[in-house]
């Protein structure tokens, strides 16, 4: 059975840089306040109308495909991870297929938020191993800036997130010990509401009947985006930061060690850990708990903020471009996010 390897990798971040001091124009905050809590100095925001989750994905995918030495016509499957799609439906996978003029291939959209890229990589890995596909495009792309609350009430969430995209091309390899060695996926929905976007959606009032005719016009209106929902900020993301932090610092190390132990390695064997760029303080805690050196962990949240599903492929690409990842290196990807979901992938580069 072949293994799957990353044959090409690409990233794209918008040109527009937004610093912590820039955010002071819209909310009560400071550079010191943001950096102390998150480690973030700046982030990128996409153009309001000319850049979308899909267009950024196409930029990253174009680079990844070129580096893999193939063309868009050679791609035989797309897996697209995002929590900020261009449309509620259809998903962004088909939009990438259209934009890049690919064949009539399958396109799968992954909704696992911060863990989305690792989940997508795991799914792609299985397709490659079974021989079903030969060139799979795996994308993580996010445009958060259009859906954040840029007031003081929303600052705890809004200062964290940025926009960007990353992509890889997965191909089979018969080289012993190369490529994706293992992936591990987990979830626990017990505390799903402490990191969520409640509305728009149909959650607010669960249907008790299948007949719309049983409701009058006023009741139907209240099932969707009501004034009460807006007044209570339910059209913006909600996060209980301390609760998420407590869960993350437990599950992050667990899933990293699960990946290493599954292939007979220890933390000392790891050349590079690339955690999802959720919060620099979380990454630093994990590094300390696993007793990893500074050169064994790569973080770039300082420059890009949290780009959720895009954060791992952006960091992976940037680390590779900087020469921090070389052939034969042992690389671990790990993520934790809304759901809760958490995941890891161990790769021999």
What's the CA gap between 55 and 33, in Å, rounded? 33
> Catalytic pick from 276, 299, 300, 317?
276
Tokens 């590779």: give the residue. 320
What's the CA gap between 146 and 121, in Å, rounded? 27
**Is the separation of the CB atoms in 180 and 325 below 8 Å?**
no
- State which H helix or E strand residue 280 sits in: helix 280-289
Length of the chain: 349
What's the CA gap between 319 and 6, in Å, rounded? 14
> Catalytic pick from 92, 279, 306, 317?
306
- Residue 16 designated active-site: no
Contacts with 321 (C-beta within 8 Å, 6 or more apart), sequence order: none
- CA 45-239-12 angle, to 5 degrees, is 25
Backbone angles phi, psi at 4, to 5 degrees: -110, 140
> Catalytic pick from 20, 92, 112, 114?
114
- Residue 306 designated active-site: yes
**DSSP state, 106?**
E
Q: Please identify every residue annotated as catalytic.
A: 114, 276, 306
């Amino acid at each position: 059975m072949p293994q799957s390897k990353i044959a090409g990798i690409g990233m794209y971040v918008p040109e527009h840089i937004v610093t912590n001091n820039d955010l002071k124009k819209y909310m009560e905050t400071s550079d010191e306040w943001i950096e102390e809590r998150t480690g973030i100095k700046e982030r990128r925001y996409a153009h309001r109308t000319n850049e979308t989750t899909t267009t950024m994905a196409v930029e990253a995918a174009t680079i990844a495909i070129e580096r893999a030495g193939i063309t868009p016509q050679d791609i035989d499957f797309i897996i697209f991870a995002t929590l900020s799609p261009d449309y509620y439906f259809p998903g962004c996978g088909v939009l990438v297929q259209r934009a890049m003029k690919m064949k009539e291939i399958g396109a799968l959209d992954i909704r696992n938020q911060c863990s989305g890229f690792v989940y997508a990589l795991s799914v792609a890995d299985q397709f490659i191993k079974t021989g079903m596909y030969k060139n799979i495009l795996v994308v993580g792309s996010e445009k958060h800036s259009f859906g954040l609350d840029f007031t003081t009430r929303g600052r705890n969430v809004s200062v964290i997130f940025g926009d960007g995209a990353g992509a890889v091309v997965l191909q089979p390899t018969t080289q012993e010990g190369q490529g994706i060695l293992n992936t591990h996926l987990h979830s626990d929905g017990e505390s799903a509401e402490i990191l969520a976007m409640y509305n728009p959606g149909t959650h607010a009032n669960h249907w008790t009947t299948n007949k719309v005719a049983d409701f009058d016009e006023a009741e139907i209106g209240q099932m969707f985006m009501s004034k009460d929902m807006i007044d209570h900020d339910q059209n913006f993301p909600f996060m209980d930061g301390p609760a998420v932090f407590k869960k993350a610092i437990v599950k992050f190390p667990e899933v990293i060690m699960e990946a290493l132990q599954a292939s007979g390695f220890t933390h000392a064997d790891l050349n590079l850990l690339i955690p999802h760029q959720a919060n620099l303080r979380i990454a630093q805690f994990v590094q300390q708990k696993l007793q990893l050196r500074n050169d064994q962990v790569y973080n770039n949240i300082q420059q890009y903020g949290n780009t959720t599903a895009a954060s791992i492929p952006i960091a992976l690409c940037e680390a590779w471009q900087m020469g921090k990842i070389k052939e034969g290196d042992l690389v671990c990807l790990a993520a934790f996010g809304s759901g809760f979901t958490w995941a890891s992938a161990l790769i021999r580069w």
